[in-house]
Amino acid sequence: MPEKTIPLTGAKAAKPLDSTQRGMPALDSIHKTEMFKGKYHIIRTTEVDSYEKTPAALELSRVLRTKQPPAAAVASAVRRVPSTGDNFGGTDRKAAKLSIAKAPIEDFKDVNALIASLPSIDTMKSLKIPTGPTSGRVKQEMRNIRVSGFLYAASREADNDFHLIVGPSQQAPQEEYMTMEVSGLPPQNSPAFGPLNTARNAYKKFFGSKLPGAGYHFYQPPIPVTIEGSLFFDTTHSTGQRPGPPSLKSRMPTIFEVHPVTSIKLGP
């Protein structure tokens, strides 16, 4: 039976929470819900990528270890933004992340088809791709794709990337998700600056003041999205904890990403 009250805070949900819907977060991770654009349900959660060690993520972890954490403390922790500004703030494989592959665009009917086209994780790990800032694209990453799907969740990371968790429709036979990143920006004299800036502005304009912060935002129903971008293998997380919100990670079969996103259209 759908929950009308948020278990973590006791507040009334903006819309009943149906945990049987595909792409839902854990009910005990939800701290606030609200309607968005009259049709989408933003479900704000305490879920973060398990490897995150930003002050925002650490504060959230500390609050959640408290027995019956006060709603105000949870709200304060998740409001903390992991980073500010639009410039890319990371170092791992910076050269690859801020470049666009030189290749024609391949069209995919959905995320399942895109995932099926990717090399295996073991194949990519065998390449021993360096993780330093000058590490460029390898042959398997010299691909540009276009895919239509649905945005199920998103978060903002410490390097100023927005992590988008994209999957097929809720009616698709196979439930799979993939990370697609609206990147922090390179220097303005970079060849990639124009497309990355346009994509970032489109994403920010759609969400306005409802951009995600430290905790993942989930969306019900998921938001239609069409994305173009270059493929990228996240070798930094090929061992240990992988990216993704805990509630969906078991259905994320690849650590390939679309990174950077060069074009994004949200909504029907």
- Per-residue pLDDT reduced to its tens digit, 169-213: 999 999 999 999 999 999 999 999 999 999 999 999 999 999 998
Q: Is 112 left (phi over 0), alpha (psi -120 to 50) or beta?
A: alpha
Query: What is the tens place of the pLDDT at every residue in 109-133?
Result: 999 999 999 999 999 999 999 999 9
The pLDDT tens digits of the residues spanning 1-60 come to: 788 998 878 888 999 999 999 999 999 889 889 999 999 999 999 888 877 766 766 676
Strands (E), 6-128: 12-17, 30-36, 40-45, 105-108
CA-based torsion, 227, 102, 193, 161: positive or negative: positive
pLDDT score recorded for residue 197: 98
Question: For tokens 């408290």, what's the residue?
Answer: 66
pLDDT band at 154 (very low <50, low <70, confident <90, very high): very high
Q: Do strands 256-266 and 178-182 pair parallel, antiparallel, or not at all (unpaired)?
A: parallel
What pLDDT score was predicted for residue 1? Answer: 75
In angstroms, the CA 78 to CA 42 distance is 14
Nearest partner of 203 among 155, 254, 168, 249, judged by Cα: 155
Q: Per residue in 58-93, is it b (16+ CB within 10 Å) or e — as a string?
A: ebbeebbeeeebeeeebeebbebbbbeeeebbbebb
pTM of the model: 0.92
Q: Which of the pair, 77 or 137, is modelled with greater confidence? A: 137
Six-digit token string for 112: 């399942």
Alpha carbon distances (Å) from 115 to 92, 118, 145, 147, 262: 23, 5, 11, 11, 19
- Give the fold, CATH level 3, of 94-266: OB fold (Dihydrolipoamide Acetyltransferase, E2P) (2.40.50)
The pLDDT value given to residue 84: 74
Q: What percent of the chain shows pLDDT beyond 70?
A: 88
The confidence score (pLDDT) of residue 9 equals: 80
For the chain, how many residues are written?
A: 268
Predicted local distance difference test score (pLDDT) of residue 125: 96
| Sequence spans of domains, the chain | 3-79, 94-266
